[in-house]
Structure 1
Amino acid sequence: MATNTTKTGQPFDRDVLDSLLRRTGFYMPSFEIYGGEKGLFDYGPPLTALQSNFVDLWRKHFVLKEKMLEVDTTIITPEPVFVTSGHVAKFADFMSKDPKTGEIFRTDHLIKQVLAARLKADQDARGKTIEVEKPDEPQKKKKIKDVKIEKLDDAVAQEYNETLAKLDNYDGHGFNQLINKFQIKGPTSGADLDPPKPFNLMFQTYIGPSADKPNGYLRPETAQGQFLNFQKLLEFNKQKMPFASASIGKSFRNEISPRQGLLRVREFLVAEIEHYVDPEAGKKHDRFQLLKDTKLTLLNRHTQLAGSEKTEVMTVGDAVENKVIDNETLGYFIVRIQDFLLKLGIDHSKLRFRQHMANEMAHYAADCWDAELYGSYGWIECVGCADRSAYDLTVHMNKTGAPLVVRENLPEPRKFQEYQIDLNKKKLGPKFRKDAKAVESAVESLSQDLREKLSLELKNSGKITVDIPSVGNGKTELDKDLISIEQREVTQHVREYTPNVIEPSFGIGRILYHLLEHSFWTRQSAESSDEPSARNVLSIPPLIAPIKVLIVPLSNHADFKPFLRQLTSTLDDLDVANSIDDSSASIGKRYSRNDELGTPFGVTVDFQTVKDKTITLRERDSTKQVRASQEDICHAIEALVRGRETWEQVSKRLPEFTSQEVD
């Protein structure tokens, strides 16, 4: 089970890390001099560089390795796109309002925090009033009103735990039942809450000067832009299947209560992949066998519905074979996600994959797993990996008539029986006018099973009803004068099908925040040091650290300057980010400041350098040093930051340098 401790086993203190990140310029509240705005933050130089390095590594790990087609689509999206995709109707969270104070809370978060507080109180002191974190405001601890807490019965405590385990499976009605059952009140007023209401998370906007009402949205994901370009991407890929598109860009969600720092924000960077597969091929993946023995920590939906959060470690091969994970391609990308997160520096013991439950499942998904990371806020979804089936391409094709399909020439003709539809277009046009094309596309996309059923219905009653969400009330009636459905023998030379889609989606900001939590620890200073007794360290891997090397001259002596210029020039030519700290502070203090920034290596130029042109290389986490020529040290640094060598390997082949850091 994951614990909230640092890599050295020390208790993790979020306030200390947050103070460090703000003090060193990792991030700051947006519009701070105007009072700020909740859920909006600006990244300073260290976090901007860290994010850029993340994106570069993501591109290499996925786009280049998997030969994906990267696109950059627009943020502003016309309203009909999201009406068709279902986002306007279904992209929502439930909110609860305290009528006495006017405070608004995200319902599932409120229930989770209150029940967790009661369980904690049961374990600790218990009493009439509990000192807990105010829901959605973890930085402000205050006494809040709650129902009187006596010692919980074992059955009640178990019910709380079971409810928390399957909380994501409730809808608005279910949330309201929980609020009434557990007597959850307004956190500060103790008043009864209004019933939960859905709140659509998309930002509306106006497109063009003539719009008299909002007619567009800021995208909440990059996926729809990729789907709408499917046909062009398929042509670019020379009609070859399977293939994947990828996109990295800003997305926007109007969060109900964005008060969890960098984890719950209204503007954020996402990286998404849409991998298109042939459904008849069983969603196989040609490289799955190479990864089938990789172990994953899984929390499946059946365990959650039983009220437990007990995970199970199994190989992805076993998970797919036993249908815990639906198919090979989904399993393949879950492994690739895990490999990427571990390469970033995420703590493996604080990573699990949780399967979505039925009510929680997105409206488009056939199966979905979240990569959840553990930190001071508990388990947080950071990457989603969903089987979106053929939903998106199908609905956009039905709405627009665009041929978002694959046409495959068959090596030999195929003969088979199929139900075919004939439409009387002379009557269809006048009856449905502007919706005629949508009706035609929807009818032609009906599955064979449904066509068989509707043919019997048409024969018996003379009419059928077809679900077409974009037309009228969603139910479209067609009589035998407009449509006929008959079974015929077909000879097929070209197979036409709509691909299914496997989608990994990365919330970059959430991953980076957890990387910072997982990297943070405190080093105890020597007793004789004039430094504080504890020094904070961010053990960010060299591969993505904002600055790779700190160059530290022993002093501002003029003899050092040529070596400093040569060092920075060499490292610049190697594309290794570096900085010089020639301040008057001691070497120990200068290194300590950069340990807080996550700088993995330090180079010291001293009087010995002037004599024999050797320099020292210091490693951040161990503080151990080696000494060699400038050429050897620069080559070692390049190998370290590219991941070709480890510090253990470098320290074995280069001479050790023993010296006490001067404080």
Structure 2
Amino acid sequence: MANEMTTANGQPFDRASLESLMRRRMFYTPAFDIYGGVSGLYDYGPPGCALTNNIVDIWRKHFVLKENMLEVDCTMLTPYEVLKTSGHVDKFADWMCKDPKSGEIFRADHLVEEVLEARLKGDKEARGQKVEEGVEDPKKKKKKLKAITAVKLEDAVVQEYEEVLAKIDNYNGDELGELIKKYNIKNPATGNDLLPPVAFNLMFQTSIGPSSNLPGYLRPETAQGQFLNFAKLLDFNQQSMPFASASIGKSFRNEISPRAGLLRVREFLMAEIEHFVDPEGGKKHPHFDEVKDVELELLNREVQLAGKTHVETTKISKAVETGLVDNETLGYFLARIQLFLLKIGVDKTKIRFRQHMANEMAHYATDCWDAELFTSYGWIECVGCADRSAYDLTVHMKKTGAPLMVREPRKEPLTIEEFQVDINKKKFGPKFGKDGKKVEAELLALTQDMREKLSLDLKNEGKITVEVPGVGDGKVEVPQEILTIEKRTRVENVREYTPNVIEPSFGIGRIVYALCEHNYWTRAEDEARGVLSFPPTVAPTKVLIVPLSSHTDFKPFVRRLNNKLQDIGISSRVDDSGASIGKRYARNDELGTPLGITIDFQSVKDDTFTLRDRDTTRQVRAPLDDICNAILNLVNGTEQWADVAKRLPAFEGQEVE
């Protein structure tokens, strides 16, 4: 398991070097840069767009096509009522604290984490221990915290800090405030005291329409559109359960203090799945056997609450069997998430699945695991996989009356004995007037146990008392002449139920950045030569075409190669600049281009070309059809470079600086 950040070839990781490369080669750039930029907003350049699109394409094939999911594209503008009903207006918040003198705002949990980690790092330095190279704070933070990084701590304090950090995600606002007091945490830049943490809703608010009378938000997730379309999707799926919908699109969160580049931004691309499943029968998955032997690194909530962070390597079948992972469908998607991350080139030693603790669990979740990727910023959540139970469909159905449920014929009729509530509408309306709907709703919502008890009260006392919030003093008497509660038998031929939902949610931007860190390294002979070893399947450009010089004899071959690669769906670039072959390859190694074709005078003579592998810099030489066939196999993942090198003749050639 990863415990320090190194490059793909085992060198100490240099984040500044990678981020310089990514900006210089325009993987991404600060948005509105010439106006000074806006924190947490970035634009993607050509290689960043291509890398993202390739990852999304693989995601579609891995999930949407494999699982026959129903893809939808829902609007980003969302009316207030929808997000009020879903709970986001009231509960979608982080804790922030303010320096009242400078006005600076901090996200409370991140500040506690930042300061305690800096103190632990300073303790290591004071003890003369090696400090992990890749996990330092960003330069900005490092400057601010410089004054507190060289202090030796008591052993008990070190242990206490480590325990707090292990469960940092589980603290609520009051608890974070207590930690800030207890550990004397102040504004790192000014030393000023901070106000107690307060909740800050992360949604961007807006108004819809010219009169601004319809309040709304930019969506914080793509999920709600999928839930609201459930009935239509079920109908499209011919009323067949289980099934999954999927959506890829932008979401927005008004981050309190966005830092860490692409890892914490205010506008980001999400890919989300809503798998609708029958809650009866343990939420089984029909294809669980296909992944049952996949091993995951699991960090469960009990370990975190004990102040530890050690993981256990566990087969997903065992994790489900023991109840560590709640059900088969949740376990199935955890395994499939790992397989997807490995397919796009994420380092297997830098993946773990962390279970949410009670306080950090989203308001809709009954169990949740995050796929976290290890980066120079530490462990970063890149995929969340939650069991949302029936929460969303239930609250939207209750609010709107829309039938967001499944109706299916029973194989055998079901005889049910239950207490039923009958209301005499002619007398009920005049008695309760405008409060009638509220009273009726409470009566119909009574549980079977409560109905049984009240039926006795009705029989013995001739009336019942029910609690109805918002009516009088909250208690309402209902007399026997307008209400009947009695036990009856009914036969049910159709079963109605509200599906539960398992939701894998992918932060594509975070995955893109973590992938870059996991695949970045520099050549041993020249540390200035950075390389991004993306798998050919996700690399922004697959092939670099390099004519040896600008000689006119090479131009027809360049055109022919380009056309041939385009015909087989392979992206390529031509570099016919005056730089040496070595320099041209080096600058495309930075872009992650896995393959290169050189056109030289031998090509003119016998129509053969050299094919170069980015990582080994080794080359083979063969006719065009053989070269293109090898490229296609490499890009499709059906061959590795070692396979190509075995069957095509090696070329010891010219890569001259």
Distance 2:484 2:86 in 1: 29
Deviation at 1:466, TM superposition (A): 6.6
Give the aligned partner of residue 241 of structure 1.
241
Q: Specify the code of the residue in structure 1 equivalent to 2:208.
A: I
Q: Does 1:10 align with 2:11?
A: yes
Matched, 1:377 2:371: no
CA contact (8 A) 1:248 1:271 kept: yes
Q: Are 2:118 and 2:145, in contact at CA under 8 Å, matched by a contact in 1? A: no
CA distance in 2, matches of 1:314, 1:623: 38
Counterpart CA distance in 2 for 1:155 and 1:289 is 47
Residue in 2 aligned with 1:30? 31
* Helix, strand or coil at the partner of 1:371: strand
Using the TM superposition, give the Cα deviation of residue 560 of structure 1 relative to its aligned residue in structure 2, in angstroms.
Answer: 1.1
Q: What is the SS of the residue equivalent to 1:382?
A: strand
- The superposition leaves residues 238-267 of structure 1 with CA deviations (integer Å, 9 ceiling, x where unpaired) of 000000000001100000001111110000
Structure 1 residues 125 and 149, CA gap change in structure 2 (3 angstroms): closer
Which secondary structure does the structure 2 equivalent of 1:408 belong to?
strand
Deviation at 1:615, TM superposition (A): 0.5
Alpha-carbon distance between aligned partners in 2 of 1:226 and 1:352, rounded to the nearest angstrom? 28
The letter for the 1-side match of 2:86 is S
Q: Give, in angstroms, the shift of residue 342 of structure 1.
A: 0.5
**TM-fit CA distance, 1:183:** 1.1
Summarize the alignment of residues 354-369 of structure 1 with structure 2, pairs less than 5 Å apart. 354-369=354-369
- State how 1:93-104 maps to structure 2 within 5 Å: 93-104=94-105
* Map of 2:403 onto structure 1: 403
2:171 alignment counterpart: 170
Q: Using the alignment, how far apart are the partners of 1:278 and 1:442 within structure 2?
A: 27
Distance 1:154 1:487, change over 3 A: farther
The 5 Å alignment of 1:188-267 reads: 188-212=189-213, 215-267=215-267
CA RMSD of aligned residues (A): 2.7
Task: Say whether residues 1:488 and 2:482 are aligned partners.
Answer: no
Deviation at 1:524? 2.5
What is the alpha-carbon distance in structure 1 between the residues aligned to residue 430 and residue 248 of structure 2? 41
Identify the residue that residue 534 of structure 1 maps to in structure 2: 528
Letter in 2 for 1:640: L
Q: In terms of mean alpha carbon deviation, does 195-204 or 551-560 score higher?
A: 551-560
**Where do residues 462-477 of structure 1 align in structure 2 (5 Å cutoff)?**
462-465=464-467
Partner of 1:555: 549
Cα deviation 1:59-78 (Å, max 9, x = unaligned): 10000000000001110011
C-alpha separation in 1, matches of 2:545 and 2:641? 18
CA pair 147-136 structure 1, distance change in 2 beyond 3 A: closer
Give yes or no for the alignment of 1:576 onto 2:570. Answer: yes
* Residue identity in the other structure for 1:328: E
What residue identity is the alignment partner of 2:50?
A: A
Shift of 1:476: 7.3
Please state how far the C-alpha of 1:564 moved relative to its aligned partner: 1.1
**Which amino acid letter does the alignment assign opposite residue 420 of structure 2?**
Q
- One-letter code aligned to 2:514: H
Amino acid at match of 1:604: T
* Residue aligned with 1:39, SS: coil
Give per-residue Cα distances to partners, 1:80-135, cap 9 Å, x unaligned.
001100000000000011112111000000000111111111111389xx9x9999
Cα drift, residue 353 of structure 1: 0.2
Q: Report the Cα distance in structure 2 between the residues aligned to 1:547 and 1:458, rounded to whole angstroms.
A: 76
SS of 1:564's equivalent in the other structure is helix
Once residues 455 and 196 of structure 1 are traced to their aligned partners in structure 2, the CA distance between those partners, rounded to angstroms, is: 49
User: CA offsets, 1:419-458, max 9 Å, x none?
Assistant: 434455564699586994x886787577656766776788
Equivalence for 1:659: 653
Tell me, in whole angstroms, the C-alpha distance in 2 between the residues paired with 1:117 and 1:598: 34
Counterpart for residue 610 of structure 2: 616
Corresponding residue for residue 78 of structure 1: 79
CA distance in structure 1 between the partners assigned to 2:294 and 2:458 by the alignment: 52
Q: Within 1, Cα distance between the matches of 2:449 and 2:137? A: 48
Q: Tell me if structure 2 keeps the 8 A contact 1:458–1:479.
A: no
User: Higher mean Cα deviation, 84-93 or 485-494?
Assistant: 485-494
Q: For the structure 1 residues 77 and 416, does the alpha-carbon distance in structure 2 shift closer, same or farther, using more than 3 Å as the test? A: same
User: Are 2:388 and 1:388 aligned?
Assistant: yes
Q: Who is 1:528 aligned against?
A: none
Choose which of 583, 588, 594 in structure 1 pairs with 2:582. 588
Q: Aligned to 1:25, what secondary structure does the other structure show?
A: coil
Q: Residues 456, 232 of structure 1: CA spacing in aligned structure 2 closer, same or farther, 3 A cutoff?
A: farther
Alignment-derived partner of residue 66 in structure 2: 65
Contact 2:118 2:149 in 1 (8 A): no
Report the more deviating stretch, 508-517 or 480-489.
480-489
Structure 1 residue 505, shift from structure 2 partner: 0.2
Per-residue deviation, 1:647: 1.2
How much does 1:416 deviate?
2.2
Q: Residues of 1 paired with 2:127 and 2:654: CA distance?
A: 51
Counterpart of 1:567 in structure 2 is 561
- Secondary structure class of the residue paired with 1:281: coil
Letter of the aligned partner of 1:645 in structure 2? E
**Residues 147 and 183 of structure 1 are in contact (CA less than 8 Å); yes or no, is this contact kept in structure 2?**
no
Question: Please, which moves more after superposition, 423-432 or 157-166?
Answer: 423-432
**TM-score, normalization by structure 1:** 0.92
Q: How does 1:132-147 map to 2 (within 5 A)?
A: 138-139=139-140, 141-144=142-145
Residues 134 and 372 (structure 1 numbering): CA distance in 2 closer, same or farther, change over 3 Å? closer
Structure 1 unaligned segments of length 5 or more: list them.
526-531
Q: Give identity over the alignment, percent.
A: 64
1:649 to 618, 643, 651: 643
Q: Which moved more, 1:140-149 or 1:80-89?
A: 140-149
Residue 48 of structure 1 aligns to a residue whose secondary structure is: helix
Once residues 283 and 442 of structure 1 are traced to their aligned partners in structure 2, the CA distance between those partners, rounded to angstroms, is 31
| Secondary structure in 1 matching 2:11 | coil
Work out whether 1:54 is the aligned partner of 2:48: no
Q: Is the 8 A contact 1:93 1:106 kept in 2?
A: yes
* Conserved 8 A contact 1:262-1:513: yes
Of 412-421 and 355-364, more deviation after overlay is shown by: 412-421
Instruction: Give the C-alpha shift of residue 141 in structure 1.
Output: 3.1
Give 2:538's aligned residue. Answer: 544
What's 2:521 paired with?
Answer: 521
What is the CA–CA distance in structure 1 between the aligned matches of 2:433 and 2:560, rounded to whole Å? 75
Given that 2:255 and 2:266 are in contact with CA atoms closer than 8 Å, whether structure 1 keeps it comes out as yes
> Cα deviations across residues 151-187 of structure 1 (Å, max 9, x unaligned)?
3222111111001001111100111111111111121
Cα shift at 1:480: 3.2
* 1:338-391 deviations in Å (ceiling 9; x for gaps): 000000101111100000001111111010000001101100111000000000
**Normalising by structure 2, what TM-score?**
0.93
- Looking at structure 1, the residues matched to 439 and 603 of structure 2 have their Cα atoms a distance apart, in angstroms, of 79
Q: Distance in 2 between matches of 1:566 and 1:380?
A: 45
Q: Are residues 569 and 318 of structure 1, via their aligned partners in 2, closer, same or farther at CA, if it must alter by over 3 Å?
A: same
Please state how far the C-alpha of 1:478 moved relative to its aligned partner: 5.8
**Structure 2, unaligned runs of 5 or more:** none
Q: Which amino acid aligns with 2:464?
A: G
**More displaced stretch, 443-452 vs 511-520:** 443-452
SS in 1 for 2:54: helix
Q: Partner letter of residue 85 of structure 1? A: S
